Amino acid sequence: MAADQENNTGPGHVAIIMDGNGRWAQSRGRPRLFGHHAGAKRVKEIVRACKPLGVKYLTIFAFSTENWKRTQTEVSGLMSLFRQYIRKEARGLKAEGVRVRFIGDRLKLDDKLIALMDDLEAITSENDVVHLTIAINYGGRDEVARATKRLAQDVANGSLMPADVDEETLPRYLDTHVLPDPDLVIRTSGEARISNFLLWQSAYAEYEFVDTLWPDFSDEEFQKIVGAFGGRKRRYGAVPA
């Protein structure tokens, strides 16, 4: 893209840090898991909103490598919610043309969940309307470390020369290797942090931090943010002409 060019197209790839479920529930005197269940309903609405907005790729942060530090009740409740979500939504996602992928380290997840994730990826693999990527047990640093390990193995077995390693090489080893970089990263709940999400991939992303707690994040608000993106100037480090 030329320097200082106005974006008159929307963001093709939006990534979301869905924050605020716990506070949303606690402000209602309910357990944190109640907030996560309400948050899962929002996921469905936001996925549906993507196609008319021209958002082809949506990547959502569902569980971080740091989230294991939460109570056993919350962690197992979230894992059970992911299984439930996949069982309940699989048919609809397939029918609506959504291609689902998961990123993150699967090794720590339970076998039942892994099997459901594999199956959902397989049954939606021909879809191309919207590409939904769900990050579970995902951390940006962990992803770069795992990618580097695989890259180092290729150097060790002679299929990659150290001199050939450049900015194009590492992303081929990332979990997101088939995805474009995010254009826009949204974080809900008033926190202005990126919390280890898509560190490499978001180098040139625009950020939008909103106060709304995730269970209250409506498709209208999503639409407004995506619409406003068209007016942003992205310079990719260049000086305006």
Q: Which residues are catalytic?
A: 19, 67
Question: In the complex, which residue's CB is closest to ligand FPP?
Answer: 22
Q: Which residues contact 152 (CB under 8 A, 6 or more apart)?
A: none
Q: Which is nearer to ligand FPP, 5 or 80 (CB)?
A: 80
Q: Which is nearer to ligand FPP, 151 or 199 (CB)?
A: 199
Neighbours of 153 (CB within 10 A): 12
Q: How far is CA 206 from CA 60, 66, 71, 109, 199, in A?
A: 16, 24, 33, 31, 13
Least distance from C-beta 43 to ligand FPP, angstroms?
Answer: 5
Q: Which is nearer to ligand FPP, 78 or 174 (CB)?
A: 78
Cβ(53)–Cβ(10) below 8 Å: yes
Least distance from C-beta 102 to ligand FPP, angstroms?
Answer: 10
Q: Which is nearer to ligand FPP, 23 or 234 (CB)?
A: 23
Q: How far is CA 164 from CA 104, 154, 167, 168, 169, in A?
A: 26, 12, 10, 10, 8
Cβ(217)–Cβ(188) below 8 Å: yes
Least distance from C-beta 30 to ligand FPP, angstroms?
Answer: 12
Least distance from C-beta 48 to ligand FPP, angstroms?
Answer: 14
Q: What is the Cα–Cα distance from 141 to 198, expressed in whole angstroms?
A: 9
Residues that bind ligand FPP (CB under 6 A): 18-23, 32, 36, 39-40, 43, 62, 67, 81-82, 85, 134, 189, 214
The angle formed by the CA atoms of residues 142, 13 and 148, to the nearest 5 degrees, is: 25
